[in-house]
């Protein structure tokens, strides 16, 4: 059985402050896409944790799938292990949440496969130790998020088709959030203001300055529909009312950009 670890997009991203511990206070809206990594698990009778095809250059101690499995194993005092294989579709450093989604799917899958019966809120608290975005993927509903991303409220969004362009760069979230010119004092908005069209991605300007490829992708895609960067980049997206229209735009993209068409979803494919 394959377990899906879907992509997400940030429909907007504001930073409203920075805490003493260095974490940023933010406001954002997460929506899922029907485009996902696929994870396959084999349960072991020993406590061994095996990743059959880890990402090149990512050591085991930084592998979020392995970290998630070990964290759950320790939390539940579980004496079972697992072997995992992944069909990796989401790019690294793309702002689509691939690592966080993989970690969340690992927690959700092993919670069931190891018969642990941990409640979803407790699983989300565990996931927060792995990354601020992990709880979003565990709850699996489109969400308005505040705090460092852990203060979550469900939100009902339109579900258009998105063209997502993938510039050939990997953006470091740490580098963007540590930039001295990052805007950290956005005036908070509310859901109704967002629904009325307010909200931008305040990371866009910095990423475009550091990575011209992202700016080029935004400019090209913006010819057809309002284009926005997701997260700290590098991927950019624009919405279209029909799949045919989105596919037509994607097929015209410049050859330096990879990309795909995906439907926006209010319920994560992990659960649907």
8, 34, 63, 67: which is the annotated catalytic residue?
A: 8
| Domain spans, the chain | 2-154, 161-265
pLDDT for 114 equals: 98
122, 133, 226, 263: which is the annotated catalytic residue?
A: 133
pLDDT for 219 equals: 98
One DSSP character per residue, 173-191 reads HHHHHT-TTS---PPP--H
**Is cis: bond before 234, omega within 30 of 0?**
yes
May I ask the CATH class of domain 2-154? Answer: alpha beta
Rounded to whole angstroms, the maximal C-alpha distance in the chain is 55
Euclidean distance between CA atoms 118 and 138, whole angstroms: 12
Section 46-57 average pLDDT: 93
CA atoms within 13 A on the CB side of 25: 11
**pLDDT beyond 80 at 215:** yes
Residue 250 — very low, low, confident or very high, per pLDDT cuts 50/70/90? very high
Section 183-205 average pLDDT: 96
Among this protein's residues, is 8 annotated catalytic? yes
Residue 198 — very low, low, confident or very high, per pLDDT cuts 50/70/90? very high
Range with lowest mean pLDDT among 107-121, 139-153, 231-245: 139-153
**pLDDT beyond 80 at 214:** yes
Name the average pLDDT for the chain. 96
**pLDDT beyond 80 at 1:** no
pLDDT for 21 equals: 85
pLDDT for 57 equals: 85
Decide yes or no: CATH 3.40.50.720 for domain 161-265: no
Residue 267: count of CB within 10 angstroms of its CB: 12
Burial of 96 (0-12, 13-18, 19+ CB in 10 A): buried
Among this protein's residues, is 133 annotated catalytic? yes
State the Rg of the chain over Cα: 18
pLDDT for 149 equals: 82
Section 156-184 average pLDDT: 95
pLDDT for 184 equals: 95
pLDDT for 56 equals: 86
pLDDT for 203 equals: 97
SS percent in the chain: helix, strand, coil, step 5: 30, 30, 40
């Amino acid at each position: 059985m394959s377990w899906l670890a879907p992509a997400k997009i940030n429909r907007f991203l504001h930073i409203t402050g920075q805490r003493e511990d260095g974490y940023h206070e933010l406001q954002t809206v997460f929506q899922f896409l029907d485009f996902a990594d696929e994870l396959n698990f084999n349960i072991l009778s020993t406590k061994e944790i095996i990743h059959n095809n880890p990402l090149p250059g990512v050591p085991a101690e930084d592998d979020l799938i392995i970290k998630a499995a070990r964290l759950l194993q320790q939390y539940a005092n579980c004496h079972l292990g697992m072997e995992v294989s992944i069909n990796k579709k989401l790019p690294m450093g793309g702002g689509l949440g691939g690592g966080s989604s993989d970690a969340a799917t690992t927690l959700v899958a092993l919670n069931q496969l190891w018969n642990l019966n941990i409640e979803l809120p407790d699983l989300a608290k565990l996931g927060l130790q792995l990354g601020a975005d992990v709880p979003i993927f565990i709850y699996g509903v489109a969400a308005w998020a505040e705090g460092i991303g852990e203060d979550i409220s469900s939100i009902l969004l339109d579900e258009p088709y998105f063209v997502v362009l993938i510039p050939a760069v990997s953006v470091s979230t740490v580098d963007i959030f540590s930039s001295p010119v990052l805007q950290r004092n956005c005036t908070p908005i509310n859901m109704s203001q967002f629904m009325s069209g307010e909200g931008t991605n305040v990371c866009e300007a910095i990423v475009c300055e550091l990575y011209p490829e992202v700016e080029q992708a935004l400019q090209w895609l913006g010819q057809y529909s309002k284009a926005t960067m997701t997260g700290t980049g590098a991927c950019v997206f624009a919405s279209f009312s029909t799949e045919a229209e989105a596919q037509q735009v994607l097929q015209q993209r410049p050859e330096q950009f990879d990309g795909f068409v995906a439907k926006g979803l209010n319920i994560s494919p992990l659960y649907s």
